[in-house]
Amino acid sequence: MTPISVIRHPKERRSKCSLTPLERRGDITFHRAKEGWSFDMTGFTVLALGAPQLSAADAGRPLLLLDSTWRLLPQLEACLHGQGVRRTLPAMATAYPRVSKIAKDPHGGLASVEALYLAKLLLGERDDSLLDAYYWREKFMEIVKRV
C-alpha cells in the first residue's frame, strides 16, 4: 500500500477541505505548511501540473499531494526541496461545485480527495473508502466510469 503525505496550505479551510474526513487514517500523514517550513520530497511521487502522466509504473514510491487553492499552490511548491518525481493526473471533470471570484481553475482541476482517489486508482490501488465521506461521491464515480 502506497504511503501518502498531504501538505496543506495554512489558509486552506479544513471545514471545506475534501480531505478532512481522512485525517484519522493511518495510511495518510498530514502536514500544515507555515512560513519557514520545508519538506524533502526526495523519493516521492509529487502530483503536479505539466508533468508526465501518473501510471502503474510509478507504483512503489510514496505519494505527495499538495492541498491548496490553485492560486496559492506556488507558495506550497516553494516549501519543497529535494528530488521528487513529478506526475500529473489525466484531465477530467470534477464533481465538486467550484465557485471562485478570484481565479479560474485549470481544466481538469480536481478536488483534493478526487485527485487522491484517481492517483491511487492509476497506481493500481483502487480504494473506494477514500470517498466514503465525500458528498459528491456518486457524481464523481460516474465521471470516473466515463474516463
What pTM value is reported for the model?
A: 0.88
pLDDT at 108 (0 to 100): 56
Which is higher by pLDDT, 40 or 36? 40
Bridge partners, 47 (sequence order) = 87
Eight-state DSSP code of residue 66: E
Q: Tell me the residue range of the domain where 48 lies.
A: 4-146
pLDDT digits (tens, 9 = 90+) for 83-109: 999 999 998 888 776 555 544 545 557
- 54: enclosing H helix or E strand: none
Q: Is 111 strand, coil or helix?
A: coil
Which is higher by pLDDT, 35 or 137? 137
Residue 140 to residue 62: CA distance in whole angstroms: 24
| Domain total in the chain | 1
pLDDT digits (tens, 9 = 90+) for 103-145: 454 555 788 999 999 999 999 999 999 999 999 999 999 989 8
Backbone torsions φ then ψ of 56, nearest 5 degrees:
-60, -25
